[in-house]
Amino acid sequence: MAPEEICKLLTTEFTDAIVKTVVEGAHPYVQVSPDRWPDVARFLCDDSRLGMNLLRSISALDLLSDDRLACVYDLMRIVVDRPDVLITETHEFAIRVETDRNEPVIPSVADVWPAADWHEREAYDLMGIRFTDHPDLRRILCPDDWEGYPLRKDYEFPLEYHGIPATTEYELPNPRH
Amino acid sequence: MSIDRVNQLSSTCVRRRFALAPALLVLGVTLLCGTRAMASSGGEVVTTAAEPGSLLEVVLFYAVATMTIVSSVAVCMSKNIVRMALWLFMTLASVSFLYFLLAANFLASIQLVVYAGGTLVLLVFGVMLTNKSPWARYTPGKLELVGAAAVCSVLLVALWLVFLRAEWSRLPGAFAGTSVADLGRSLLSVYVVPFEVAGVLLMIVMVGAAHLARQDK
Amino acid sequence: MTMADTVLESAPDLLVDTDRVEQGDLRTEEMLVNMGPQHPSTHGVLRVVLRTDGEMVLEAIPHIGYLHRCAEKIGESLAPYQYIPYTDRMDYLAGMNNNQAFAIAVERLCGLEVPARAQAIRVVFAEFNRIASHLVSLGTYGLDMGAFTPFLYCFREREMILDLFEAACGARLTYSYITVGGIHEDLPAGWVERCLEFLDYFEPKIDDYNNLLSFNHIFVKRTAGVGVVSVDEAIAYGLTGPPLRGSGIRWDLRKVLPYDGYEMYDFDVPIARSGGTDEIPHGVVVGDCWSRYYVRVLEMTQSVRIMRQALANLPDGDTEAKKIKNLKLPDDEVYVGIENPRGQLGFYVRGDGSTIPSRVKARGPSFCNLSITTPLCRNVMLADVPAIIGSIDVVMGEVDR
Amino acid sequence: MTQFSVPWQPRPAHPYGMASRAVIALAQSVYGFAAPIVSRFPGAILISAVIATCVGVWMHSVLFGWVDTQLIQAAVTLPDYTPPALSLLSPSTWGLTPSVIHALRVDETVAASVAGLLDYVLWPVQFWIVRDVVGLGALFGLFNVIPVYVIWWERKVAGRIQSRLGPMRVGGWHGWAQSPADGIKLILKEDLVPAGADGPLFRLAPYLTIIPSLLAFLALPFGATYVLRELDVALVFILGVLGAEVVGVILAGWASNNKWSVYGAMREACQMISYEIPMGMALLVPVICVGTLSLSGIADVQQGGWFSWIAFSNPFCFAAFVCYFIASLASLKRAPFDLPEAESELVAGFVTEYSGFRWSLFFFAEYAAMFVICAIASIVFLGGWHSPLPASWGGGLGDGLLARGLTGLLFSGPIWLMFKSVFLLYVQLWLRWTLPRIRIDQVLYSCIQVLLPLTMVLVFGATVWTWASTGHNALWSTVEAATRIILGSIGLVFIGGFIAIAGYGFYHRRRMVGNLVQDVMPGS
């Protein structure tokens, strides 16, 4: 199915949940409101026409200008009807979920796609987006007692960690390294 | 690395390794004398066996005897389980050494095979796999000490009486040592009944152990 | 303080409040073993905390992040053509494929046209790097099983591949050869003949590996039927590449969403077959460690096939698109996934009109493939944990980025 | 922000004393004059050293034999001869005095030209303690040389199997000085005992592994007269002693306060229980066929050349040889059974915390035990020190010095035992570098559920076979001869196949595949 039909199908199914649909450009996606996102996710995964069973990646965005954080879910469909046949057609689609920047909360979809477990932990670790009823929300890449969320635009670098001096340039307002 | 670093290192290693040289020397001498005591095969009199009562054999006997007693006492006294297992191994090995002194080579080798190798590994297994933490310390309670002391004293007295009443006699002439063939023949001719009974007993023990092991899985 | 306390205290996050593990350490004889960041068979700095009862592993919890170099944060302050060397260091065994993924993402974002010769050379180098990366994974998997010799044979062939890479782009591991808009330099004279000569030398070597390791009875006994992943479990946990094909799904991004002219070459996608059929030894189950390993061996022959077709009719022409230096990224975003030797390597690039992207996210295939170790390593023997991790073929560079 | 403080204070430099200064000076001077010589033709020196030791050992046995026959037997005829008693303290009982030896020698054929010096040399040879000290010294030497050169050889064989060269640089010719150099390096390493480890046990464990493999050399006969202590239960003694080696391994695993070592120790305990019985039973089969436990006795039965060897005497012994070899791999923790020190799972198993000299002690014990196991296999199954040529052919050579040398080389002498055990060692090296490692439950399955019943069947078969052959009826002796021929020819086929493969490999060896780019690529 082409991205336009997917957008049309989603808007008909969840008229209230869809905030914005973007079809032209290199990355067609649909923006979904956070509280209805688990139902949309369940629908995307289980519906026969869509069947998006492979969650490729969750990219966390920092939209500093309009003071919001966002997660972009890239989905793909692997249909395995006849096991030994080469699969050549699939369709891919993206969903964006935005939340407020000060206390960002997005419901977790780890129960729909188990692959989301680690991606959400990474989004929490690097961007600070808290995922409600996630099985084990801990930092995944940074040490457990690290303060701050590195990937945020307004993140200022710590000058030392447990006595180990950081080697960035100190006086620069916005150190580039 | 700089030359004095080499010197410093080699000197430490010379000093540290120096302690190893006497250990190896002692080992060599004990090996030498120990093997000295082992009579060779066959019944004929061996010219180079250690004559009974010669200085060398007496020295060796006392050395091994003290080793046995010290290690068996240490088995009871040691707190750490693994130390206890090591001392048990020392006891069993020195008992096997005693047999070598008596030129009973077959019995000594069997002692090594059965006890030092096999039973000890089973004991170590039992010690490690029980769910007591291996670093547990055994501190016997007051009551246990009293009971143990009583039993030990009774046994000591009985042993002492037996020791006094026995009259010790020396075997005439150099002891020729028994060959394995005679042992085998006597086992299957004169002592065949106890041999079979022992076999059956071991079978029962094996079956029991297998049953117990299967139970708690 | 006994040793058990030091270990428990050294893994505070595990024990303090999460009830999940609470019932775990009530039984005294269970041990918490750190198959720690430094371990011969964790293929890089991966720490797996094993809760074991004797030889049986009850639970394996991977801890990652020891090689985290915040490559994505750096991506937000470098122009695309400057960021290429960083992509090399993500999956350091398949540098060419990483460059190709990021280059294609930026080209799709800006709508750049890549000349045909550049696309063909990209395909040649991508497949060449796939062979080199599979050789490393076969060799190290033999090491995990205790067979030292296959490692040396694989690295003897890999040395020759690295020599050819060195001749083409001067580097042996971090090439930065494929850049935005095409490739860095055209091929040196005589390279194509030398490459074809290597392919003829390399083809029979794959049978050596099979005789030495793949069909070795002990190796089959150690890997067949261990760590079986079903079809929907594989898709649910986001497995891609050899682990997915090892579970019997004939899925390859080079066939499904062809890029860089892959639709022109004919090659087939090998998947796992159950034991007994033609040369597959008995006891092998679709989705177990052995089939994941064997899929990589079969893929090497397919890569040789592709390279031969690509080298046969290399189109001529220049190898670089125009106006790369101050490339303006449109205010849009793109997500592109390509077939890396370990699975689907995806790049999400978001531009905001300036020459520097506002967000670069790399989706490493090993990141998702590694997440399956926890369900797989339940109630297995201690010796099977390296077997399972080795068969997934994890590279920590792209897990931690 | 403080620069991180350095908790570790460097240890004060140790003021080296006279002894160490002397050792250093000696070492430097030896190196000064030896290095140019050795580096010019190392190969020749090494091979001549080996030949010299072999001839030296042989001459020593000839000397002791000569003293026994010529002097002591002749002296017994003298009236006032008292055999050298054991107590060394009273000189009166010191046996033949030099003057008596001189008197005996003067009327002997030995040229009287050498004056009293020879008497003083010959005088100590008559005492048993001198012979034992020489024998023990030889065993200590062998016990040290074997691991050193087997390790070097294993690295060369591993290199060849893995299409590389192996050590080539240390000491010149094929890196022959690699293991001695490693030994010195290991001695210089820091003497480390991990914190929380059980100190005394940690230090004691290596010695508990190395002493048994040394004891095993006592009862191991290298030739008819080359044995330190001729035991009638040599086989059981060696098995018992090698069994005791496990205790050291378990203590090492337990005392180093490291989870991986504990796993290594537990695996060694499991493995020991599983291989000990099949190995013992496999060795029981030839003992049943021959009837004695003494290794010399077993070897004497196999004098009749290739087809008289026990491995080819009956099918049960042939199968017992294979079972013994497999079980001995488990006992040596090698090849597919090297679980106690599995690199890929347990980091280094029970030796994880050991470094330096202690670590090398463990490997000394392992390689020495490897040689003992191969020597037992060749004595019990492959005719020990008898050559494939039947001893009867060499009857007519007489017993002059040259003749005895010739029979030693051609028909029966320690050289043949070394050939056979080194060949079996070579087989063990192949296995290590080609086979992957099996899992602990597969070890238990293969040893207990496969090898144990198999060896029991073999023992039963051997008893039936020996019972049948005691009847010495004509039909049965033809059957026995037939089986000897068949099994012997199977053995010949194996050896022929090995030589053919080796020849084919040597003939088709290709130049080491060089660097593709440098050969042709212009400008690269």
Please report which confidence band the pLDDT of residue D71 belongs to, taking 50, 70 and 90 as the band edges: low
pLDDT at B42: 30
Burial of C205 (0-12, 13-18, 19+ CB in 10 A): middle
DSSP strand E in C308-383: where?
333-340, 343-350, 359-363, 380-381
Q: Which residue of B has its CA nearest to C3?
A: B135
C54 vs B contacts (CB less than 8 Å):
129
* Residue C179 three-state SS: strand
Average pLDDT in chain B? 74
pLDDT at D84: 56
- What's the average model confidence in pLDDT over C211-227? 91
Can you give the C-alpha Rg of chain C in angstroms?
22
Chosen for mutation from B82, B131, B216, B217 (greatest number of chain C CBs closer than 10 Å) is B131
- What's the average model confidence in pLDDT over D383-403? 81
Q: How far is C353 from chain D (nearest CA, A)?
A: 41
> D212 and D107, same structural domain?
no
What is the residue extent of each domain of chain A? Answer: 3-140
**Is the pLDDT at B15 greater than 80, yes or no?**
no
pLDDT at D110: 46
Is A172's Cβ below 8 Å from some Cβ in C? Answer: no
Picking from C76, C269, C367, the nearest residue to A118 by CB comes out as C367
Q: Give D233-245 pLDDT, tens digit per residue.
A: 899 999 989 888 8
Chosen for mutation from B24, B36, B112 (greatest number of chain D CBs closer than 10 Å) is B112
What is the residue extent of each domain of chain C? Answer: 3-63, 71-365+382-400
Q: Max Cα separation, chain B?
A: 75
> D194 and D121, same structural domain?
no
Match 């005497």 to its residue by tokens: D313
Contact B135 C29 (CB under 8 A): no
Q: Which amino acid is present at C147?
A: A
Please report which confidence band the pLDDT of residue C320 belongs to, taking 50, 70 and 90 as the band edges: confident
Q: Give D14-41 pLDDT, tens digit per residue.
A: 777 888 889 889 989 998 988 888 878 8
Is residue D466 assigned to a domain?
Answer: yes
**Interface residues from chain D to C (CB-CB < 8 Å):** 158, 161-164, 196, 257, 259-260, 263, 266, 336, 338-339, 342-345, 347, 433-442, 513, 515-518, 520-524
pLDDT at B167: 82
pLDDT at D39: 78
Contact D14 B11 (CB under 8 A): yes
- What's the average model confidence in pLDDT over C152-162? 91
Q: How far is D333 from chain C (nearest CA, A)?
A: 13
Q: Where would I find the H helices in C111-190?
A: 116-144, 149-169
**Is the pLDDT at C142 greater than 60, yes or no?**
yes
Whole-number Å distance between alpha carbons of D250 and D266: 7
Least confident range of B205-209, C80-84, C321-325, D46-50: C321-325
Contact C28 B133 (CB under 8 A): yes
**Is the pLDDT at D144 greater than 70, yes or no?**
yes
- What's the average model confidence in pLDDT over C96-119? 92
Whole-number Å distance between alpha carbons of D205 and D245: 10
Please report which confidence band the pLDDT of residue C325 belongs to, taking 50, 70 and 90 as the band edges: confident
Domain of residue D104: give its range.
Answer: 42-77+97-126
Average pLDDT in chain C? 87
A 101-140: CB under 8 A from C: 113-115, 117-118, 126, 136, 138-140
Q: Which chains touch D (3 or more CB pairs under 8 A)?
A: A, B, C
pLDDT at B132: 52
pLDDT at C7: 46
B17 vs D contacts (CB less than 8 Å):
187, 357
- Prediction pTM value: 0.85
Is D207's Cβ below 8 Å from some Cβ in B? Answer: yes
- What's the average model confidence in pLDDT over C276-292? 89
Whole-number Å distance between alpha carbons of D234 and D295: 6
Cα three-residue angle D434-D438-D439, rounded to 5 degrees: 160
pLDDT at D68: 72
The answer to whether D263 and C31 are in contact (CB under 8 A) is: no
Residue with the larger pLDDT of the pair A116 and D127: A116
pLDDT at D421: 93
Other Cβ atoms less than 10 A from the Cβ of D236: the count is 23
- What's the average model confidence in pLDDT over C187-200? 91
**Is the pLDDT at D190 greater than 70, yes or no?**
yes
Contact B86 D251 (CB under 8 A): yes
Q: How far is C356 from chain A (nearest CA, A)?
A: 13
Structural domain tally of chain D?
2
pLDDT at B29: 53
Please report which confidence band the pLDDT of residue A172 belongs to, taking 50, 70 and 90 as the band edges: low
Beta bridge partners of C336: C347
- What's the average model confidence in pLDDT over A73-89? 84
**Is the pLDDT at C24 greater than 50, yes or no?**
no
Contact D250 B17 (CB under 8 A): no
Q: Which residue of D has its CA nearest to B13?
A: D188
Chosen for mutation from A141, A153, A156, A172 (greatest number of chain C CBs closer than 10 Å) is A141
Least confident range of A60-64, D124-128, D337-341, D517-521: D517-521
Q: Which of C226, C153, C209 is nearest to C389 (CA)?
A: C226
pLDDT at B21: 55
Contact B109 D236 (CB under 8 A): yes
Least confident range of A33-42, B54-63, B199-208, D176-185: B54-63
**Is the pLDDT at C208 greater than 90, yes or no?**
no
ipTM metric: 0.83
**Is the pLDDT at C202 greater than 70, yes or no?**
yes
* Residue A22 three-state SS: strand
B 119-178: CB under 8 A from C: 129, 131, 133, 135
Please report which confidence band the pLDDT of residue C300 belongs to, taking 50, 70 and 90 as the band edges: very high
pLDDT at D100: 67
Q: Which residue of D has its CA nearest to B37?
A: D229
pLDDT at C117: 92
Picking from C147, C163, C386, the nearest residue to D345 by CB comes out as C386
A159 vs D contacts (CB less than 8 Å):
1
Burial of C142 (0-12, 13-18, 19+ CB in 10 A): buried
- What's the average model confidence in pLDDT over B19-46? 47
Other Cβ atoms less than 10 A from the Cβ of D418: the count is 18
Please report which confidence band the pLDDT of residue C165 belongs to, taking 50, 70 and 90 as the band edges: very high
**Yes or no: domain A3-140 corresponds to CATH 3.40.50.300:** no
Within 8 A by CB and 6+ apart from D504, the residues are none
pLDDT at C1: 38
pLDDT at A26: 83
Contact B113 D243 (CB under 8 A): yes
Residue with the larger pLDDT of the pair B40 and B78: B78
**Is the pLDDT at C4 greater than 80, yes or no?**
no
**Is the pLDDT at D515 greater than 70, yes or no?**
no
A160 vs D contacts (CB less than 8 Å):
1
Share of chain D above pLDDT 70, in %: 86
Chains D and A touch (3+ CB pairs under 8 A): yes
Q: Give D317-365 pLDDT, tens digit per residue.
A: 999 999 999 999 999 988 789 888 887 788 888 888 898 889 999 999 9
Please report which confidence band the pLDDT of residue D86 belongs to, taking 50, 70 and 90 as the band edges: very low
DSSP strand E in chain B: where?
none
CA A148 from chain centre, in angstroms, equals 19
Chains A and B touch (3+ CB pairs under 8 A): no
Domain B49-134: give its CATH code.
Answer: 1.20.120.1200
Q: Which residue of D has its CA nearest to A159?
A: D1
Architecture of the domain delimited by C71-365+382-400: Orthogonal Bundle (1.10)
The answer to whether C72 and C350 are in contact (CB under 8 A) is: no
Share of chain C above pLDDT 90, in %: 57
**Is the pLDDT at B146 greater than 50, yes or no?**
yes
**Which DSSP state fits C25?**
G
Is A152's Cβ below 8 Å from some Cβ in C? Answer: no
- What's the average model confidence in pLDDT over D86-102? 57
Residue with the larger pLDDT of the pair D197 and D453: D453
Picking from C4, C27, C54, the nearest residue to B133 by CB comes out as C4
Length of chain B: 217
**Is the pLDDT at B217 greater than 60, yes or no?**
no
Contact C28 B131 (CB under 8 A): yes
Please report which confidence band the pLDDT of residue D371 belongs to, taking 50, 70 and 90 as the band edges: very high
Q: How far is D10 from chain B (nearest CA, A)?
A: 13
The answer to whether A69 and A99 are in contact (CB under 8 A) is: yes
**Is the pLDDT at D279 greater than 70, yes or no?**
yes
Contact D218 B31 (CB under 8 A): yes
The answer to whether D192 and D356 are in contact (CB under 8 A) is: yes
Angle, helices B3-37 vs D199-216, to 10°: value is: 60
Q: Which of D60, D98, D164 is nearest to D433 (CA)?
A: D164
Beta bridge partners of C32: C51
Please report which confidence band the pLDDT of residue C10 belongs to, taking 50, 70 and 90 as the band edges: very low
The dihedral through the CA atoms of D462, D464, D470, D471 has a sign that is: negative
Residue with the larger pLDDT of the pair D506 and D457: D457
- What's the average model confidence in pLDDT over C282-295? 92
What is the residue extent of each domain of chain B? Answer: 1-37, 49-134, 179-217
**Is the pLDDT at C133 greater than 90, yes or no?**
yes
Beta bridge partners of C337: C346
Please report which confidence band the pLDDT of residue C29 belongs to, taking 50, 70 and 90 as the band edges: low
**Which DSSP state fits C66?**
T
Q: Which residue of C has its CA nearest to B130?
A: C29
Whole-number Å distance between alpha carbons of A25 and D213: 77
Chains D and C touch (3+ CB pairs under 8 A): yes
**Is the pLDDT at C219 greater than 90, yes or no?**
yes
**Is the pLDDT at D408 greater than 60, yes or no?**
yes
Contact C2 B129 (CB under 8 A): no
DSSP strand E in D171-246: where?
none
Structure tokens that stand for C178 in this block:
């494929």
Q: How far is C327 from chain A (nearest CA, A)?
A: 17
- What's the average model confidence in pLDDT over B60-87? 87
pLDDT at D90: 46
Is D128's Cβ below 8 Å from some Cβ in B? Answer: yes
Q: Give D104-115 pLDDT, tens digit per residue.
A: 666 554 444 444
Q: How far is C29 from chain B (nearest CA, A)?
A: 5
- What's the average model confidence in pLDDT over C253-271? 91
Is residue D47 assigned to a domain?
Answer: yes
D437 vs C contacts (CB less than 8 Å):
145-147, 218, 222, 383
Please report which confidence band the pLDDT of residue D282 belongs to, taking 50, 70 and 90 as the band edges: very high
